[in-house]
Amino acid sequence: MQDERNQSAGFIFVFLGFSELPTLQVPLFLVFLTIYTACVLENLGLILLIRINPKLHTPMYFFLSHLSFIDFCYTTVIAPKLLDLLISEDRSMSFKGCIIQFFFGCTCVVTQTFMLAVMAYDRFVAVCKPLLYTVAMSHKLCAILVAGSYVWGGICSSTLTYFLLVLSYCGSGIINHFCCEYSAILSAACSDSSLSQLVCLLICTFNEACSLLIIIISYTVIFVTVSRIPSKGALKKALSTCASHLTAICFCHGVILLLYCVLKSRSSLLMVKVATVFYTMLVPMLNPIIYSLRNKDVKESIGKLIHLKVLSRSF
């Protein structure tokens, strides 16, 4: 067993990336570099904006700042290697590097999933119990919910990483992907991976079911409560507070369900890569835009910041 682990430690993975599109390597590099740059600037900008504006020091924006931080981290874990694969002849990655990328990527995915569930609960309290909102969503509770999401993400990622480390790897190590995704790593294992696959299935099913259940229950109660509001203005305001979050949920969980429930056949490998790019790069880039465009407070804060910069330059 020790010899097998030592051999695995020196194992090299070779990623095919988007090699089926040889003429588009440079254009794809430019497109992905633009998306990654925009993602980094948008998410860090939103975090900074929330940090410096006292008006945005509320539970909703506290959760949003952490969602932006997770999006930034997740994209930064995946994008650099993807960009490198498109312009470099060296498509290899060490076993250790691949495991590290998987661990942090998995932590971000699980944490993001439950952060969206926490934000759904926050919207439930804001709409259904507005008078008790500041008491119910205390700073202590918000910190516990955020910390719990990070800790659970770390636990799930550590468990899955352990079940990758106990396997032995051999063969060419060629992976038809651009990142260290769980099933992609398992495809290079030469020992029995059935237990690892079962553990992954159980953890993924549990996380997806629990997070979606929290979201569905929260929004079901919200819609029932909102439907009883006689004032159309109040109804519109209540729905507008949830629109951005619902859009983000549809993007996130929609792509997850597409990846793991629809795109399973080998003939869909290119579509799997495209969907993975959408989830790892486009969704993190779109989230700040979604929350900014449909959020009056964020738009006002951006407007004031721009106005102050213009004034400071004029003097």
- pLDDT, tens only, 17-64: 888 888 888 999 999 999 999 999 999 999 998 888 888 888 989 999
Here the tokens at position 287 are: 């989230």
Provide the H-helix boundaries in 11-58.
25-52
6 has pLDDT over 60: no
Hey, which residues does 15 pair with through a beta bridge?
A: 175
Rounded Cα distance between 47 and 53, Å, is: 10
| Positions of E strands within 119-271 | 174-175
Q: Write down the pLDDT at residue 234.
A: 62
Q: Return the SS3 of 91.
A: coil
pLDDT bin (cut points 50, 70, 90) of residue 2 is: very low
Do 245 and 112 meet the contact criterion of CB atoms below 8 Å apart? no
Is the pLDDT confidence value at 73 over 90?
Answer: yes
Higher pLDDT pick, 201 / 259? 201
Tell me the per-residue pLDDT of 140-179, one tens digit each, with 9 for 90 and over. 999 999 999 999 999 999 999 999 999 888 877 888 888 8
Domain 12-313 of CATH type 3.40.1710.10: no
Phi, psi of 84 (to 5 degrees): -65, -40
Reported pTM:
0.88
95 pLDDT exceeds 60?
A: yes
List residues bridging with 169 in a β-sheet.
189
The predicted model gives 73-91 an average pLDDT of 91
Q: What is the pLDDT of residue 210?
A: 94
Distance CA 193, CA 238 (A): 48
Give the pLDDT confidence score for residue 70 in this predicted structure. 96
Who's near 44: CB < 8 A, 6+ residues apart? 68, 72
Q: Which two tokens stand for residue 66?
A: 């952490």
How much of the chain, in percent, has pLDDT values that exceed 70?
Answer: 83
Distance, in Å, from the CA atom of 66 to the CA atom of 252, rounded to the nearest integer, reads 16
